[in-house]
Amino acid sequence: MKLDLSGKVALVTGGTRGIGHSICRALVGAGAHVALCARDGSKAEQVAGALGHGARGYACDVGLAAQVEALVDGVEKDFGRIDILVNNAGFTRDNLVFRIKETDWDSVLDTNLKGAFLMTKYAARGMIKRRWGRVVNISSVVGINGNKGQSNYAASKAGLVGFTKAVAKDLASRNVLVNAVAPGYIDTELTSGISAEAKQYLLDNIPLGRLGEATDIASAVLFLASDLASYITGQVLVVDGGMVM
C-alpha cells in the first residue's frame, strides 16, 4: 500500500505559516489538491499560489459560523468536494488564570475549539454523502498535561481531544475517520516568544534530544489522512520526541 492522495481534496485551516503550511506542502507532495484558509486572505492566496498544483487560498476566521459556511461552500464549488479536513488554526493568549481576560478566554476557545466544530459540521456533510472522509484535529500535549499560564489554551486543546473521540463515534458508520495529532514543542511563530531558558528546559526534557519541526507534524497528519490509517479512528497521536509518555 502506498501513501498516495492523488485526486483527494484537502482543506487546511491556518495554512499560511508554521505547522499548517508544512501540512499543505506534505499534502501537495502526496498528490492532493489543497485549499487553505487564514484570516489574512491575501496571504492565503499568495501562499497557495506558491504551493502550486492548483492550490487555492481563502479568507476565513474559523470561529465565525457564517464565514466557515461560506468557506466550505466556496471550496466545494471550486474543487467539487472536500475529502480531508485538517483543523489546524490555533493561537494563544497566555496568562495565569487569575489574569486571563474574559475576551482572551473566549477568543482562544472560539478559534481553537469552536473553529474545529464549525469546520467539521459543515465539511462533514459531503464526506458523509460520499462515505469517505478524514478529519485531523491539531491538539497539543498541553491539552494532555496542562501548562502553567495556558489554562485557556490547554482547555481548548483538551476539548479537541474529547471532540475528536465523540465525532469519531458520530461518523464511523459513514467511513469518516476522525483523529487528532498532539504536537509537543514545534519551532514556529506561535512559540517564538519562548525564552532561551525555557527552550533549554524543554530540550533537557525531550528524550529524542531535539525540538520538533513542522514537518514532523505534517508527516503524522499525512499518515492519518491516507489509506494507511484506514482502521484508525478516535485516536490522539502524540508527536513530541517522547516529552510526554
16 binds ligand NDP (CB under 6 A): yes
Q: Quick check: helix, strand or coil at residue 51?
A: helix
- By beta-carbon proximity to ligand NDP, the closer residue of 46 and 230 is 46
239 binds ligand NDP (CB under 6 A): no
Catalytic residue positions?
A: 153
Q: How many CA atoms lie within 13 A of 196 on its CB side?
A: 0
111 binds ligand NDP (CB under 6 A): yes
Among the listed residues 30, 91, 93, 235, the single contact to ligand NDP using CB under 6 A: 91
126 binds ligand NDP (CB under 6 A): no
Q: Record the cell numbers describing residue 145, joined without a space.
A: 498535561
CA distance 152 to 92: 8
Task: Confirm if 102 and 125 have CB atoms less than 8 A apart.
Answer: no
19 binds ligand NDP (CB under 6 A): yes
- By beta-carbon proximity to ligand NDP, the closer residue of 128 and 144 is 144
Among the listed residues 109, 144, 190, 228, the single contact to ligand NDP using CB under 6 A: 190
- By beta-carbon proximity to ligand NDP, the closer residue of 93 and 174 is 93
137 binds ligand NDP (CB under 6 A): no
CA distance 33 to 99: 43
Beta strand spans in the chain (E): 9-13, 33-38, 56-59, 84-87, 133-138, 176-183, 236-239
Task: Confirm if 133 and 120 have CB atoms less than 8 A apart.
Answer: no
Footprint of ligand NDP (CB under 6 A): 13-14, 16-20, 37-40, 43, 60-63, 88-91, 111, 115, 138, 140, 183, 185-186, 188-191
